[in-house]
Homo-oligomer: A and B are copies of this chain.
Amino acid sequence: MTVTLADVAARAQVSPATVSRVLNGNYPVAAATRERVLRAVDDLDYVLNGPASALAAATSDLVGILVNDIADPFFGIMAGAVQSEIVGPGGRAGGERLAVVCNTGGSPERELTYLTLLQRQRAAAVVLTGGAVEDAEHAKAISGKLRRLADAGTRVVLCGRPPVPDADAVALAFDNRGGGKALTDHLLDLGHRRIGYIAGPEERTTTRHRLEGHRAALAARGVPDDAGWTVHGPYDRRSGYEATVELLRRAPSLTAVVAANDTVALGACAALREAGLSIPGDVSVAGFDDLPFSVDAVPALTTVRLPLAEAGARAGRIAMGREAAPAGGMAVVQGELMVRRSTGVPSKA
């Protein structure tokens, strides 16, 4: 029924091994026979059996990409960049690798499950994006799983995620703390002293680092940080909206709101507008990430640009061994403060 390599060999009048060599191209084959084989492949409309190939060679051409939410451009941009760099040797159409995108929803269990599934597939590499959940037990489980993946020959790269101890994984970490500090420094420079903070989900490295940067900036100037001015919530628009309503209730005197990311900031802006407050006239707003839509927000959003595409591309190249891993197995990727119109001098007393 289905055409196999042996069929091709028969038609080209060569041995199966030769066909295999032609197809994989990592072995010298006479030009004439190659032609003959290729023609036979074409004639028979032959398609290599991936599983069989992977079984025999003990490696597959699948690359796993773990993301929290593929519908979020933050992850979509990184995933796309990784995928663009995992082309096979020679860049040939047939030699490409496939990206397996796994939506973890930020759940540690699903993360583990997907890693096991990728291990089962004998994935060539795995790229983990997004912040990690801060839980000792889970951290150990992940670390062990990553180690076993690496032992099995799967290259592991962390993109936008802090290093994992004892895991033999290359880490490209975003400087969330530095970015968070730069953002709040900017607001302090403008004269803000009562700044609300809409943080991401608790127990996340990203959340904690950004918040730490914020607090470090405040502490450096001796500005008091009221605990009630910080609210946690998921990384979505609704969370920004609701958190802002809550902040406005708790502390109507706030002159600025820093959001966990741009999406949250958009929700915050909506809530402020509905409350009849102008931005930045009454309240300044800042985001994080600089997603594509942020420059088109009205007013354009002050935020910290993270080079998502560049980081993803680099992670992809490292995962493919096409680029050397950074010294020490880790690199810090800096963000860049983008000052736009959503932040200004506070007008309230």
Residues of A within 8 A of B (CB): 2, 45, 47-55, 60, 62, 69-73, 75-77, 79-80, 83-84, 93-94, 96, 98-103, 109, 113-114, 116-122, 148, 152, 237, 263, 266-267, 269-270, 273, 292-293, 295-298, 309
Contacts and interface: CB of A to CB of B under 8 A. Distances in A.
A242 to B, nearest CB: 14
Central interface residue in A117, A295, A309, by most chain B CB within 10 Å:
A117
A103 B122 contact: no
A102 B94 contact: no
A120 B73 contact: no
Identical copies of this chain, number: 2
A4 to B, nearest CB: 12
B122 A93 contact: no
A36 B73 CA distance: 45
Q: Determine chain A's interface SS by DSSP, over half rule.
A: helix
A76 B67 CA distance: 12
Contact of A83 (B45, B54, B101, B121): B101
Contacts of A103: 80, 83-84, 99
A62 B296 CA distance: 38
B60 A70 contact: no
13 contacts: A50-B54, A51-B53, A51-B60, A70-B70, A70-B83, A71-B73, A71-B76, A73-B73, A79-B101, A94-B113, A94-B117, A270-B296, A293-B293
A212 to B, nearest CB: 28
Given A266-B296, A293-B293, A62 B100 contact: yes
A123 B118 CA distance: 15
Given A266-B296, A297-B298, A79 B70 contact: yes
Given A98-B117, A103-B83, A117-B98, A49 B45 contact: no
A248 B147 CA distance: 59
Nearest to A293: B293
A276 to B, nearest CB: 15
B71 A77 contact: yes
Contacts of A122: 49-51
Contacts of A100: 62, 98-101
Contacts of A119: 47
List the 6 closest A-B pairs by CB distance, nearest first: A298-B298, A51-B54, A101-B101, A50-B121, A71-B76, A71-B80
Contacts of A93: 109, 113
Nearest to A267: B296
A79 B99 CA distance: 13
A120 B70 contact: no
A342 to B, nearest CB: 11
A297 B322 CA distance: 41
Given A80-B70, A98-B102, A47 B266 contact: no
A84 B107 CA distance: 14
A122 B100 CA distance: 15
A53 B122 CA distance: 12
Contacts of A72: 73, 76
Contacts of A52: 51, 55
Given A70-B76, A96-B113, A99-B100, 7 more contacts: A45-B148, A55-B55, A69-B80, A70-B80, A71-B77, A79-B101, A296-B297
